Amino acid sequence: MPKIVLVHPQIPPNTGNIARTCAATATELHLVGPLGFEISDRYLKRAGLDYWPHVKLSYHNDITEFLDVAKQRGGRLIGYSVRGKKDYLECEYFQDDWLLFGSETNGLPPELLAQCDLTSFIRMEEGTVRSLNLSVSVSVVLFETRRQLKK
């Protein structure tokens, strides 16, 4: 099953909502520090409610540590960005993909985007809207991967 990776997330309720979605779908969630909050943050826990024990959570201190784990485990790195090259609906997803999302304020760091095997975006029909909320973006992409993989 593809894995969700949040790089430097800043807003606890977004991460909590994503964790809840990951728990519901048995999807691994990888958090890459530094984070904009403490894992014990009450808003993070509140958003995840009582689902935290069911989250397959991994924490990586920094990008280098995460990349070492990803390389060891194998699979493609797919970075999601407003500057991505391919519409997420045109991507073919595989079981071992790593789906990378950046912080709410800065997106994925350019040096990490450069290491991705593929960069993708979610098309916005209204030109004045740059992007969706992080938790919505993760859900949209995760459920498309699940649809394609029949999960």
- Binding residue per annotation — 122? yes
- The token duo for 133 is 């909320």
Instruction: Decide if 9 contacts 47 (C-beta within 8 A).
Output: no
User: Encoding tokens for residue 105?
Assistant: 């304020």
Asked if residues 18 and 47 have their Cβ atoms less than 8 Å apart, the reply is no
Directed axis angle between helix 134-149 and helix 12-25, to 10°?
Answer: 20
- CA separation for the pair 142, 22 (Å, rounded): 9
Establish whether the linkage from the previous residue to 110 is cis, with ω within 30° of 0.
no
Give the annotated binding-site residues: 102, 122, 131
Give the annotated binding-site residues for S-adenosyl-L-methionine: 102, 122, 131
